[in-house]
């Protein structure tokens, strides 16, 4: 375990509308506002996405199990934003995605289209030197603290 202490910086409220590419739009806000470290929450609907529902086996590095959907799903999730060693933002979002009483819990990765509306609250974290570089032993980008 490793941790650091910081303070709350700026807070953003963002709305995505029907058909918007959620992850691309979120990355656009992150880059435009230069949000280097943050947590965010999302509530609303996704029309489609490609998600990871877990590892095939509990080993490192994991082999992800992918699933795609293209019907409206109620969405409630939480995630973090840290940048990698190539100075690109890395969004890590886990969400519960409901459809007619059936809930899929997953890591939302790509191909996201908004259904009706998604509301996002981004809370910037100040005073933490952190990034999310590639972690070869685990096969993923891992939160790493410096300084």
Query: What is the structure's pLDDT at 74?
Result: 98
Residue 54 has pLDDT above 90, yes or no: yes
**Which domains, from first to last, does the chain contain?**
14-145 (3.30.1330.80)
Of 98, 112, 107, give the one whose Cα is nearest residue 54: 107
pLDDT in tens, 59-92: 999 999 999 999 999 999 999 999 999 999 999 9
Q: What's the whole-number mean pLDDT along residues 107-118?
A: 98
Residue 147 has pLDDT above 90, yes or no: no
Query: What is the structure's pLDDT at 63?
Result: 95
């Amino acid at each position: 375990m490793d941790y650091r202490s910081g303070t709350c910086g700026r807070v953003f409220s963002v709305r995505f509308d029907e058909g918007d590419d959620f992850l691309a739009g979120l990355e656009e806000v992150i880059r435009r506002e230069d949000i280097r470290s943050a947590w965010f929450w999302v509530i609303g609907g996704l029309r489609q996405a490609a998600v990871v529902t877990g590892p095939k086996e509990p080993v490192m590095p994991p082999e992800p199990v992918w699933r795609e959907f293209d019907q409206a799903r109620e969405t409630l999730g939480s995630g973090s934003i840290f940048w990698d060693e190539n100075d690109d933002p890395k969004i890590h979002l886990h969400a519960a995605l409901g459809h007619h009483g059936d809930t899929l819990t997953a890591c939302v990765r790509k191909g996201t289209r908004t259904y009706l509306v998604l509301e996002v609250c981004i809370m910037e974290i100040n005073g933490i030197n952190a990034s999310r570089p590639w972690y070869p032993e685990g096969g993923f980008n891992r939160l790493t603290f410096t300084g």
